């Protein structure tokens, strides 16, 4: 809840946040927050359907966006402070640049649909060739807000067309054009969405926030304060952010936490089953739930319609007729009559095709897509098969001009693999006959495929589990 110091729209406000405590935000940021487009984020859950497994996981994109905005400003101020402390004046950070990064942090998730990443999965199902991504959608929504912003306040804080373009590029994590004034300021694109190493304040906030709401406690706690304080800008490498080499293990811990969160929460087996049922319901109701006259599958290409969508669509599906397939699926979710996972395995082989595996099983058994499906979930440290820590530029304490990107002096005990896939066989039809048939078929597929999956040795073998009672 925000405490206002004044009714004037040109005043800062303080937000009381459970993660970062008191957050003071710039007047321009407040003007963005107080729009319909931004307020919509209050009705979009940060963790999608995790709340159906973890009851406390009800935080929203609104909370997270304010947290990322806060950390964006803090990191910019710390980088500026470290420049001053080092007596290096080759790079200067302006107040306008700070504000641009903070706005990007605030607006980076504006483009999420109902239940966050669940909507992206829905789009992949209904428009397989579509390149829809929430980041691009966030830029569209931000531009819509920008057009509505008071010209006087934009002028007062020197926010013109060039700054608008810069904010959009910061949201996307890379410059779309050459900015002559920013050629030595790569750090601007490494704070909100770092495409080079994956180290950004977006992760720092959601690690802390999701851990809090998932009630995982100390098991996955991460301390970002040390990283804030040791971050510095290196003028010799285009102005990118470098970190102390002593923090290398802290970064491994950070990426390990990401892996843990994906395994235990974001891609939890039951969470993914409920998400799959909800997507099936959306597809079944595509022509029956309209937003500004558009079908659900058309909303992503129509901003007015898209702005009408949020998590309330779950209850909208419950208002359909009793016999409607979508309502029946939502009723099943509510009464815990879920699809059943009848087999799973883990492999280091990635980019597997669920459709190919389904086709092989259908050929052997005659099962249809209405009866079962295969879900392939990929897990990594954020950079695919690559060691993400090797992408982070480091500096040594007594020689800040010595870039040691691949410095191996900290430890030799680091992970040997950084990605894996988990394959699930899930039954939509939960009759005993279908479950037994699907379970046997998946077991046969596993036994035929385990050699090329790299599971032919005893230490790698993961036998199909009996998971019918999920």
Phi and psi angles of residue 234, each rounded to the nearest 5 degrees, phi first: -105, 110
Q: What is the dihedral of CA 172, 173, 176, 179, to 10 degrees?
A: 130
* Residue pointed to by tokens 């963005």: 32
Nearest to 272 by CA among 2, 53, 88: 53
Q: Is 134 a catalytic residue?
A: yes
Q: Residue 302 and residue 299: Cα distance in Å, rounded? A: 5
At 240, is the secondary structure helix, strand, or coil?
strand
Q: Are 381 and 418 in contact (CB under 8 A)?
A: yes
Residue 448 CB neighbour total at 10 angstroms? 12
Q: Residue 135 and residue 124: Cα distance in Å, rounded? A: 15
Give me the residues paired with residue 379 across strands. Answer: 420
Give me the residues paired with residue 15 across strands. Answer: 2, 23
Give me the residues paired with residue 341 across strands. Answer: 426
Judged by phi (left if over 0) then psi (alpha if -120 to 50, else beta), residue 199 lies in: beta
Q: Which of 70, 108, 134, 242 is catalytic?
A: 134
Cα–Cα distances in angstroms (integers) from residue 125 to residues 261, 280, 283, in the given order? 25, 9, 9
Report residue 88 as tokens.
């290096």
Order of strands across the sheet that contains 372-380: 340-347, 419-427, 372-380
Q: Are 170 and 191 in contact (CB under 8 A)?
A: yes
Q: Which residues are catalytic?
A: 134
């Amino acid at each position: 809840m925000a405490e206002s110091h004044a009714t004037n729209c040109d005043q800062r406000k303080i937000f009381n946040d459970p993660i970062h405590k008191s957050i003071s935000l710039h007047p321009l940021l407040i003007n963005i927050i107080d729009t319909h487009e931004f307020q919509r984020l209050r009705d979009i859950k940060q963790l999608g359907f995790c709340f159906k497994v973890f009851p406390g996981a009800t935080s929203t994109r609104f909370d997270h966006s304010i947290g990322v905005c806060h950390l964006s400003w803090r990191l910019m101020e710390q980088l500026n402070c470290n420049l001053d402390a080092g007596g290096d004046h080759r790079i200067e950070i302006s107040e306008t640049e700070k504000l641009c990064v903070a706005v990007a942090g605030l607006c980076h998730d504006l483009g999420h649909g109902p239940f966050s990443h669940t909507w992206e999965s829905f789009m992949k199902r209904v428009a397989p060739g579509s390149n829809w991504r929430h980041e691009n959608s966030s830029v569209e929504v931000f531009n819509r807000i920008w057009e509505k912003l008071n010209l006087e306040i934009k002028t007062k804080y020197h926010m013109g067309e060039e700054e608008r373009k810069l904010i959009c590029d910061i949201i996307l994590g890379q410059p779309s054009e050459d900015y002559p004034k920013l050629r030595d300021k790569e750090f601007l694109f490494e704070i909100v969405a770092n495409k080079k190493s994956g180290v950004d304040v977006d992760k720092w906030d959601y690690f802390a926030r999701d851990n809090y709401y998932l009630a995982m406690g100390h098991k996955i706690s991460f301390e970002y304060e040390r990283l804030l304080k040791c971050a510095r800008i290196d003028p010799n490498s285009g102005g990118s952010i470098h970190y102390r080499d002593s923090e290398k293990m802290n970064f491994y811990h950070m990426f390990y936490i990401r892996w843990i969160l994906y395994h235990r929460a974001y891609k939890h087996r039951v969470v993914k089953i409920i998400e799959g049922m909800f997507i099936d319901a959306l597809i079944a109701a595509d022509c029956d739930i309209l937003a500004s006259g558009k079908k659900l599958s058309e909303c992503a290409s129509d901003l007015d319609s898209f702005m009408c969508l949020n998590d309330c669509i779950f209850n909208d599906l419950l208002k359909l007729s009793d016999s409607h397939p979508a309502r029946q699926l939502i009723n099943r979710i509510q009464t815990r009559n879920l699809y059943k996972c009848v087999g799973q395995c883990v492999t280091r082989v990635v980019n597997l095709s669920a459709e190919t595996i389904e086709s092989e099983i259908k050929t052997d058994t005659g099962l249809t897509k209405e009866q079962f499906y295969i879900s392939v979930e990929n897990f990594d440290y954020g950079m695919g098969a690559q060691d993400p820590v090797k992408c982070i530029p480091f500096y040594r304490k007594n020689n800040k001009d010595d870039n040691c990107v691949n410095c191996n002096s900290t430890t030799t005990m680091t992970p040997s693999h950084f990605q894996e896939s988990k394959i699930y066989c899930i039954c939509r039809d939960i009759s005993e006959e279908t479950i037994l048939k699907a379970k046997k078929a998946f077991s046969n597929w596993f036994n035929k495929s385990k050699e090329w999956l790299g599971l032919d040795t005893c230490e790698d073998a993961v036998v199909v589990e009996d998971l019918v009672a999920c």
